[in-house]
Chain A
Amino acid sequence: MRTDTDRPGLVGSSVKRVNDPRLLVGRGRFIDDISMPGMAHATIVRSTIPSGTVTSFDVADCEALLVLGVDEIAAATRPIPCVWIAPGQEQVEVPVASRQVRYVGQPIGIVVAPSRAEAEDAVECLAIDLAAEDGVADSLQALEPGAPLVYPERGSNIGVEFPIGDPSELVEEAMASAAVVVSRRLRIPRIVPSPLETRGVIADWNPGLEQLTVWMSTQTPHHVRDHIAHSLRLRADQVRVVAGDVGGGFGSKEHLYADELLVCLAAMRLGRPVKWIEDRVEHFTATFHGRDAYHDARLAMTEDGTFLAIHTSITGNLGAHFSNVGTGPFRVSAVMLPGPYRLPVAGASIRAVFTNTTPTGAYRGFGMQEAAWVRERLVDEAARELGMSAIELRRKNMYRSDELPLVTPTFQEYDSGDYGRALDLVDARVRAYAPAPPASARIRQGIAVATHVEFTGLGPSKAQDIVGFRLGGYETAVVRMEPDGSVFVSSGVMGMGQGIETTLAQLAADRLGVPLERVRVQLGDTGVAPYSAAGSIASRSMTVGGGAVVRASTALREKILRIAGAKLEVSPSDLELVEGQIHVKGDPRTGTSLEELVTRAWLGLDLPEGESPDLECKYVHEPLNISYPYATHAAAVSVDLDTGQVAVDAYWVAHDSGVVVNPMIVDGQIMGGVAQGLGIALFEKMLYADDGQPLSTTFMDYLIPLSSDVPTMVMDHYETPAPHIPGGMKGVGEGGTIVAPAAIGNAIAAALPEIAEQILETPLSPGRLWTLIHKAGLHDG
């Protein structure tokens, strides 16, 4: 890890994470670790068919504490609102339960019993009749004439269609004028987020207080609280959501699912706590998936490789209904399509399609992984067609640092950075790489790069409103110095393994001149935390939430120095706060102890005129812009011609995510992100039969990377502060996942030039590659 600026203090320091000892000794408090007196257990009843109607739901033979079927649930709930609404989108809310089933896994009832095993037994005794109809899983098949209709009353499976960016006349004009147009159909299949901890919830209704307390594994406690209250016709103050330790989210826990509402409803009906823990099969079928899009994409350029235009026609699979974010991932693919390149013309058309599959929503990378796959594959294909170096082609077309800030044709205001430097750093690493020669002549080796700019830290609220995203983009921090001098930080963002509890504490401790162990960061409880509309999504916890902690901590520091200045009869600007002491700058002998000053302040003593005794500051951070980190990655791969097996031999990352608060944590975010991207590149695909019956429902048939699959990575970092974010941080949670599939895909294409133009779809599994290799005649002789 190297940075350009070594600065004193806790920011920029690889301190060990504050929560780890607890997690290491088995004292985490994940949702299934919580038990309470009288707690009952729920199982969700789900559709086993992709399309059809619930014709009867008979509970007569079912021994259970409570059974609720579709009709009772529908009558007791209001539909869950969609959050991101596309232009022309008619479906803006989704019923909690319906007799019409449209995917396998759709909840149609809930059974509650004293134990989970008894609840599962009881489900077997329900008599449910389902009248099956034809279903369709693939978005292109769903558009064919005569395809089964997910919503017959609509007359078509198209959910919504809209363009992004430059108008089609301009795009076509640029394409027609170009010497070279590289045109491909690329596909990004469906991904299952697969945090190791599945979803889970415990709900408890207090009839005296008329308050519902909901413990949940979630990334977005306030957002979930609002939607529970809405759907159950409660006031917001009647619902408190508490998230403890969250065992990974990756986007799959960023909103309220119908399942979780059913548990709340059951707890209210029974008057006792009810727990539901999703099992792994349910995670494969009932938790929203990510990706699933076809891109018919074109990149146009002059003879010398100067880019002229990029365009993609996206056919995106919505699944059975609009998820909370609906077309959001397809839209983000479109707006981030140009990446770091000077593209005078850029645009996309989006066609979002209903199918009889689990709805698609957020997953790490959110549309940007798809954009990187499409763009970076086209760039490497262009280099091949032009006979140019892929690195030179990139360097030629990248924005220079002196061109920033600028607004792209797809309305992104790129803020700061030096995109070419990341490319140069990786290029130097690759040039210095001396791979061991292959073990046999049947092993091919290839090295390639991919690069990207990323959209992190939603986001100015007004900008979100313009694109139909109905969640506020600000974050609030409350920072309080307690009477004993310890510090309490409260924020609405959420920890889910990314270490935000530690990095927020670093920001506060750094500004307040106290040791890290004197700071406690409290997250996840709507009864305590300031309101957060969007929570921990979109790589925003550090940029937006951290920016708020920076400002609130600075305000508190200034207040403490004002009080000290009055006491010491010096100007606050002449004072500094270091390691629990306040003294005149450069003169440690003068001054006062922080703890004594704080204790007396809370007693209401020694305060200057007009100063209140509370040492608590709150700051609402509405960011002025999205922040745009960027990176270049490179992969070295070996491909076995006889098996189609790929090994990733080496991997390099050069990255700029603005000011790095904790280099060790940032490295960890990138390593983990790259591993998920490697899974996309080589292994992961949620499979459906043509009619919508899911075919991958266990970790035996949906493979995620193992230690033996993921190489040791080499990383270079440098820092260009985000100009619009207090503290200068940019987001870092998703970049690794976004660009890794393209780097690996390009490396495989480099290893196999005979089939490079057909490297268009992930996963590049042994079966897919072997087939392409075989068809190219590489198994002959």
Chain B
Amino acid sequence: MTGEPDIRITTTVNDVTVEAQVEGRTLLSDFLRHDVGLTGTHVACEHGVCGACTVLVDDQPVRSCLMLAAQVDGCRVDTVESLGTQDDLSPLQSAMWAEHGLQCGFCTPGILMTVEGGRRAGLDVRQVVEDALPGHLCRCTGYQNIRNAIESYFAQGVQA
């Protein structure tokens, strides 16, 4: 391991082309947060258990603390910043707000990206709630309202 940023990557982050020189050891999570400046992706455990850092790489949910920045060369990366804006929340974000699906909000971006990835993969609501959501740790909510929000979102007629 050296501190030399000697790997050149080109990646598309939230529809914007990003060219960068990165160290071989730089995690995707650190690259997104500190090099690209997208701090919506949160790092909570850095050992791949909690899911807070989940982003989509070519539409697949991945734990960005378990992936190197060098690995997304040529890939599309989508983060929570791609979903909606404060004035125009996405339907999933609106459902989370309405159902009180977040408290401190630290785990929330990762959960949003997992649900978004599930939608893109054509999962149904049961698969998202029962299989995907338990891949995330939330210490505040007790999950009930997150489940309610996901169900409300899918009930609106999600387009796969």
Interface residues of A in 4-44 (CB under 8 A from B): 16-17, 19-28, 30, 32-33, 35
- Which residue in chain A gives the minimum CB-CB distance to B97? A20
Asked whether B3 is an interface residue with its Cβ less than 8 Å from the other chain, the reply is yes
Of the listed residues A32, A115, A196, A676, the one surrounded by the most CB atoms of chain B closer than 10 A to its CB is: A196
State whether A197 touches B86 (Cβ < 8 A): no
Asked whether B158 is an interface residue with its Cβ less than 8 Å from the other chain, the reply is no
State whether A27 touches B129 (Cβ < 8 A): no
Asked whether B147 is an interface residue with its Cβ less than 8 Å from the other chain, the reply is yes
Interface residues of B in 5-48 (CB under 8 A from A): 23, 25-26, 33-34, 38-47
- Closest beta carbon of chain A to B95's beta carbon, Å: 10
- Which residue in chain B gives the minimum CB-CB distance to A193? B139
Asked whether A472 is an interface residue with its Cβ less than 8 Å from the other chain, the reply is no
State whether A712 touches B144 (Cβ < 8 A): yes
Asked whether B122 is an interface residue with its Cβ less than 8 Å from the other chain, the reply is no
Asked whether B98 is an interface residue with its Cβ less than 8 Å from the other chain, the reply is yes
State whether B98 touches A26 (Cβ < 8 A): no
Chain B residues with Cβ under 8 A from A248's Cβ?
103-104, 106, 139-140
* A697-714 near B? 1/0 per residue, CB < 8 Å: 011100011111010110
The answer to whether A707 and B47 touch (CB under 8 A), given A196-B104, A671-B141, is no
Asked whether B54 is an interface residue with its Cβ less than 8 Å from the other chain, the reply is no
Chain A residues with Cβ under 8 A from B38's Cβ?
26
Question: Which secondary structure characterizes the binding site on chain B?
Answer: loop
Chain A residues with Cβ under 8 A from B84's Cβ?
24-25
The answer to whether A24 and B93 touch (CB under 8 A), given A16-B98, A247-B42, A707-B134, is yes
Chain B residues with Cβ under 8 A from A675's Cβ?
141-143
Asked whether B125 is an interface residue with its Cβ less than 8 Å from the other chain, the reply is no
State whether A17 touches B100 (Cβ < 8 A): yes
Asked whether B121 is an interface residue with its Cβ less than 8 Å from the other chain, the reply is no
State whether A24 touches B134 (Cβ < 8 A): no
Chain B residues with Cβ under 8 A from A247's Cβ?
42, 44, 104-106
Asked whether A246 is an interface residue with its Cβ less than 8 Å from the other chain, the reply is yes
Contact of B47 (CB < 8 Å), options: A115, A280, A667, A710: A280
Whole-angstrom distance between the alpha carbons of A496 and B91 in the complex? Answer: 25
Asked whether A766 is an interface residue with its Cβ less than 8 Å from the other chain, the reply is no
The answer to whether A117 and B139 touch (CB under 8 A), given A21-B86, A24-B97, A32-B33, is no
State whether A196 touches B130 (Cβ < 8 A): no
* A118-147 near B? 1/0 per residue, CB < 8 Å: 100100000000000000000000000000
The answer to whether A497 and B143 touch (CB under 8 A), given A24-B89, A197-B42, A699-B49, is no
Whole-angstrom distance between the alpha carbons of A692 and B86 in the complex? Answer: 48
Interface residues of A in 90-130 (CB under 8 A from B): 115, 117-118, 121
Whole-angstrom distance between the alpha carbons of A197 and B96 in the complex? Answer: 20
Asked whether B102 is an interface residue with its Cβ less than 8 Å from the other chain, the reply is yes
Asked whether A642 is an interface residue with its Cβ less than 8 Å from the other chain, the reply is no
Asked whether B83 is an interface residue with its Cβ less than 8 Å from the other chain, the reply is yes
- Which residue in chain B gives the minimum CB-CB distance to A246? B104
Asked whether B81 is an interface residue with its Cβ less than 8 Å from the other chain, the reply is yes
Chain A residues with Cβ under 8 A from B100's Cβ?
16-17, 664-665, 667-668
Asked whether B138 is an interface residue with its Cβ less than 8 Å from the other chain, the reply is yes
Of the listed residues B97, B106, B109, the one surrounded by the most CB atoms of chain A closer than 10 A to its CB is: B106
Contact of A196 (CB < 8 Å), options: B40, B139, B145: B139
State whether B143 touches A710 (Cβ < 8 A): yes
State whether B3 touches A121 (Cβ < 8 A): yes
Chain B residues with Cβ under 8 A from A705's Cβ?
143
Asked whether B137 is an interface residue with its Cβ less than 8 Å from the other chain, the reply is yes
- Closest beta carbon of chain A to B82's beta carbon, Å: 9
Asked whether A498 is an interface residue with its Cβ less than 8 Å from the other chain, the reply is yes
Of the listed residues B3, B38, B139, the one surrounded by the most CB atoms of chain A closer than 10 A to its CB is: B139
- Closest beta carbon of chain B to A774's beta carbon, Å: 29
The answer to whether A710 and B144 touch (CB under 8 A), given A280-B46, A497-B105, is yes
Whole-angstrom distance between the alpha carbons of A195 and B44 in the complex? Answer: 9
- Which residue in chain B gives the minimum CB-CB distance to A674? B142
* A194-237 near B? 1/0 per residue, CB < 8 Å: 11111000000000000000000000000000000000000000
Whole-angstrom distance between the alpha carbons of A673 and B103 in the complex? Answer: 12
State whether A497 touches B130 (Cβ < 8 A): no
- Which residue in chain A gives the minimum CB-CB distance to B133? A707
Of the listed residues A21, A22, A121, A499, the one surrounded by the most CB atoms of chain B closer than 10 A to its CB is: A21
State whether A707 touches B147 (Cβ < 8 A): yes
State whether B47 touches A26 (Cβ < 8 A): no
Chain A residues with Cβ under 8 A from B130's Cβ?
708
State whether A706 touches B137 (Cβ < 8 A): yes
Asked whether A672 is an interface residue with its Cβ less than 8 Å from the other chain, the reply is yes
User: Ordered nearest first, which 8 A-B pairs have the shortest CB separation?
Assistant: A26-B40, A497-B104, A23-B105, A247-B106, A675-B142, A671-B142, A497-B103, A699-B49
Q: A20-B97, A195-B106, A497-B104 are in contact. List 18 more A-B contacts (CB 8 A).
A: A16-B100, A17-B97, A21-B86, A23-B102, A25-B80, A30-B42, A32-B33, A117-B3, A195-B139, A196-B50, A248-B139, A250-B139, A497-B103, A497-B140, A675-B141, A705-B143, A707-B134, A710-B142
B residues with a Cβ closer than 8 A to A are 1, 3, 23, 25-26, 33-34, 38-47, 49-50, 52, 79-81, 83-86, 89, 93, 96-98, 100, 102-109, 112, 129-130, 133-134, 136-147
- Offer 13 A-B interface pairs, CB within 8 angstroms, sorted by A: A20-B96, A24-B96, A27-B40, A117-B23, A248-B104, A248-B106, A280-B46, A496-B104, A673-B142, A675-B141, A699-B50, A707-B138, A713-B142
